[in-house]
Structure 1
Amino acid sequence: MTDPHAPIAAYWDAAADTFDDEPDHGLHDPAVRAAWASRLHGWLPDPPAHVLDLGCGTGSLSLLLAHQGHHVTGIDLAPGMIARARAKLAATGLEAAFHIGNADTPPARSGGYDALLCRHLAWTLADPPATLRHWVTLLRPGGTLVLVEGRWREAGDTASPYEPGAHPLPWAGGVRARDLTDALRPHVTELAVTPLSQEATLWGGPVSDERYALVARI
């Protein structure tokens, strides 16, 4: 039986070498890096907290979290991304734990985290409502869930970018804030949405699509 995650891992492995070329991925620009650091500080609990960075990519946000004093666990499906994340943290002398795993059922302990951070990942989920319910179980009582999402400029093309054999993408092209809110609200006690489309510094320049952060607590 074909593993539906294999073509997805292959896609992101192929992207790993150039992933950090995007301003909001690599955070090479000090202004972009400072903007994300400030936002993370405002969204997440005071350090030191145990933070799960799902879909961590090359570890740029994990690095910011570790620098702020958090205990970070990063998970990504692509081995190439994880290798770069480990190297990135090692180069700074900061520590974080990185593991290969899929976001739908990540290798993470139930009730083991003070916060869960996920950026630009919801569109890749095979069953978004089920995955969101599962993510909530990974948090301790009073835990914080931070989802940085949007409806991307590519939303006119909602075809999967993956090779045949991958699972379908109900939220291909991204997810609007109102739809993500509707899916998550039954499982949390507090929920707030912060629009981010006008914060050009976060993205390395102006954007015209919908971008936002949803911050929830259980």
Structure 2
Amino acid sequence: MGDDTAAIAEYWDAAAPTFDDEPDHGLRDERTRTAWMRLLRTWMPPCPVDVLDVGCGTGSLSLLLAQTGHRVTGVDLASGMVSQAHEKLKAAGLPGRFLVGDAAAPPTGGEVFDVVLSRHLVWTLPDPEAALREWVKRLRPGGQLVLIEGRWRESGQRGTPYVSGAEFLPWNGGIGAHDLAAAVRPLVADLRIEPLSAHADLWGAPVTDERYALIARLSESRV
């Protein structure tokens, strides 16, 4: 697929108007929203911190984080997604910064964060392992990397074809917990996997594919 970011951005811009129709995207149902809020609270530090939401989409998780007092910066390649995220937090009367840019190399300069959060993103990246290294660089010592991932059917198999060449993406269709842990482990001090497939409330309905969260922590001091 090369570096055809324009085609990728165009795809997600086209998806933006209906993106929140999926229960786990828009979090419009109270049960689904509450389930995600409960999980985020277990993954985030108890005090308000700086969170970088890479591939933030329409900002549904950013909104939940802002509601609990965290300072959120969201990045997404699609301007349509970023616009919706901005309006979502504005409507709620909550602060949040949203930037159009490559989630694999967020346009945040030399800023560092306490948490980098990514949900359902790595399968879309031309070089996901490079992205993981970049995200770790954006963390403060002792910071956390939270990846919500899984193995699922690629978007085109659900009716709307993804961009040309998507079948050649390294992690097309997602990545299993064992393999993602192997890619992340050399970059962090420790990590754990939390299976999520059995929690139907998160997805709006029961699912049968592999879904999980990987929560990793950096060392308190960089070598």
TM-score (norm 2): 0.91
2:10 and 2:42 map into 1 onto residues whose CA distance is 34
SS at match of 2:94: coil
1:146 and 1:37 map into 2 onto residues whose CA distance is 14
Question: Following superposition of structure 1 onto structure 2, how do residues 192-211 of structure 1 map, counting pairs within 5 Å?
Answer: 192-211=192-211
Structure 1: which 5+ residue stretches go unaligned? none
- The answer for the alignment partner of 1:140 in structure 2 is 140
Checking the alignment, whether the CA contact within 8 Å between 1:127 and 1:170 is kept in structure 2 is yes
1:216 and 1:195 map into 2 onto residues whose CA distance is 14
Per-residue deviation, 1:155: 9.0
- The answer for the alignment partner of 2:188 in structure 1 is 188
Per-residue deviation, 1:210: 0.1
Question: Following superposition of structure 1 onto structure 2, how do residues 43-192 of structure 1 map, counting pairs within 5 Å?
Answer: 43-110=43-110, 112-154=112-154, 161-164=161-164, 168-192=168-192
Checking the alignment, whether the CA contact within 8 Å between 1:5 and 1:167 is kept in structure 2 is no
SS at match of 1:32: helix
Checking the alignment, whether the CA contact within 8 Å between 1:7 and 1:165 is kept in structure 2 is no
2:112 and 2:123 map into 1 onto residues whose CA distance is 25
2:4 and 2:131 map into 1 onto residues whose CA distance is 16
Provide Cα deviations, 1:8-51, integer angstroms capped at 9, x if missing partner.
00000000000000000000001100100010000111231000
2:15 and 2:155 map into 1 onto residues whose CA distance is 20
1:29 and 1:135 map into 2 onto residues whose CA distance is 31
2:52 and 2:141 map into 1 onto residues whose CA distance is 15
Per-residue deviation, 1:106: 1.0
Per-residue deviation, 1:167: 9.9
Of all paired residues, the percent bearing the same amino acid is 60
Q: Considering only aligned residues, what root-mean-square deviation do their CA atoms show, in Å?
A: 2.0
Per-residue deviation, 1:197: 0.3
2:59 and 2:207 map into 1 onto residues whose CA distance is 23
**Structure 1 residues 211 and 35: CA distance shift in structure 2, 3 A:** same
**Alignment coverage as a number of residue pairs:** 215
1:120 and 1:166 map into 2 onto residues whose CA distance is 15
2:42 and 2:151 map into 1 onto residues whose CA distance is 23
- The answer for the alignment partner of 1:18 in structure 2 is 18
1:42 aligns with 2:42: yes
Provide Cα deviations, 1:138-183, integer angstroms capped at 9, x if missing partner.
00000000000000144996xx944337794110000010110010
TM-score (norm 1): 0.93
Q: Which consecutive segments of 4 or more residues in structure 1 shift more than 2 A?
A: 108-111, 153-157, 160-168
1:92 and 1:119 map into 2 onto residues whose CA distance is 22
